A and B are shown apart, each in its own frame.
Chain A
Amino acid sequence: MQLARVTGTVVATVKVPGLTGIKLLLVQPLDRQLQPVGGQVVAADAVHMAGPGELVYIVTAREASVAMPDPFVPVDHAIVGIVDAVRSLEGDDPAATPSAADAPAAGPPPARKRRTRGARS
């Protein structure tokens, strides 16, 4: 399992039937110092709550599809948790706060669409 930063969303209308209903997010894998390592990949969101700018941890390979409701879907990266904090031996790493403000690859603050249910004017 590895740390990653959500950098965007991916929308695909035409896809393999097994991918229907699965939220796809663009993620940048990170090293332990939260610096980008390697290229960005598309990951399925198994927690249903991750959004751009968030620090998450991902699983790869067969375990990615195991994380989905149907464990036989063609998925090779999956987000399985949203990181609240990374605590290192030397104390809390200030770089490891999961806020969107320090997202190195996210660019401008993410425009998250929030729907307020039941809100009436």
Chain B
Amino acid sequence: MKLARVVGTVVSTINHPAFEDRTLLLCDLLDPDGAPSGGYLIAVDSVGAGAGETVLLLDEGNSARQVLAAPGAPIRTVVVGIVDEVTAS
């Protein structure tokens, strides 16, 4: 899983049926110290995360389909947690 920060949303009306009624979040990937590492991912929300929050991203298709209970969905990246605190030693 990856640490990321929600920086926006992606709005789409014409999409694959698996994306109906799902929120797409634009997430900047983070270093362990909380700085953006340069990359980004579009993720499906499963926890109600909002803009500015640090989240836990799952970037693996089978796990994503299991989390969303959507067996045939072409979804690979899912927000699976909202991070309260990261301690790096």
Identify the A interface with B (CB < 8 A): 1-3, 31-32, 46-47, 49, 57, 59-64, 66-67, 71, 78, 80-89, 93
Contacts and interface: CB of A to CB of B under 8 A. Distances in A.
Given A2-B42, A59-B76, A47 B28 contact: no
A2 B41 contact: yes
B49 interface: no
A93 B41 CA distance: 17
B16 A46 contact: yes
Contacts of A85: 10-11
Interface in B22-61: 24, 26, 28, 40-43, 51-52, 61
B53 to A, nearest CB: 11
Contacts of B61: 61-63, 66
Contacts of B43: 1
A89 B8 CA distance: 5
Interface of B: 7-16, 18-19, 24, 26, 28, 40-43, 51-52, 61, 72-77
A1 B76 contact: yes
A63 B12 contact: no
Given A59-B76, A81-B16, 19 more contacts: A1-B41, A1-B76, A2-B40, A2-B41, A57-B12, A57-B42, A59-B74, A60-B76, A63-B76, A80-B74, A81-B15, A81-B24, A83-B12, A85-B10, A86-B8, A87-B8, A87-B9, A87-B11, A93-B8
Contacts of B40: 2, 31-32
Contacts of B76: 1, 59-61, 63
B74 A47 contact: no
A60 B77 CA distance: 11
A41 B81 CA distance: 32
A47 B14 contact: yes
B22 to A, nearest CB: 10
B14 A80 contact: no
